[in-house]
Amino acid sequence: MVAEAEADKERFFDLLDRLSPLNILPAETRGHIHTAQKEMLLAVRSLVDEAIRCVEEAEKPKTRKRTKIEVQ
């Protein structure tokens, strides 16, 4: 049963690969496209990370800076 499911999954992904318009491109070009997609995801991740940092910074309680006054 598990082996059949794995075989079905493999056939499905093989079909997707054959139907993909990227298959008409040379392998080197497909590799560059894959790398570019990864870089775009990393760029989005960095934006999300920065947004999270800003939200966390805004959630911190604001403390006033203390000034030491010398008393004689």
Q: Is the pLDDT of residue 49 over 90?
A: yes
Tokens linked to 18: 């054959």
Whether residue 20 has pLDDT greater than 80? no
Helix, strand, coil percentages (3-state) for the chain, rounded to 5, are 75, 0, 25
Q: Give the model's confidence band at 41: pLDDT under 50 very low, under 70 low, under 90 confident, else very high.
A: very high
pLDDT at residue 19 greater than cutoff 80: no
Higher per-residue pLDDT: 20 or 45: 45
pLDDT of residue 52: 97
pLDDT category of residue 9 using cuts at 50, 70 and 90: confident
Q: Can you list the pairs that 58-63 forms with residues at least 24 positions away whose Cβ atoms lie under 8 Å?
A: none
CB 33 within 8 A of CB 22: yes
pLDDT surpasses 90 at 45: yes
Q: Where are the beta strands (DSSP E) in 1-72?
A: none
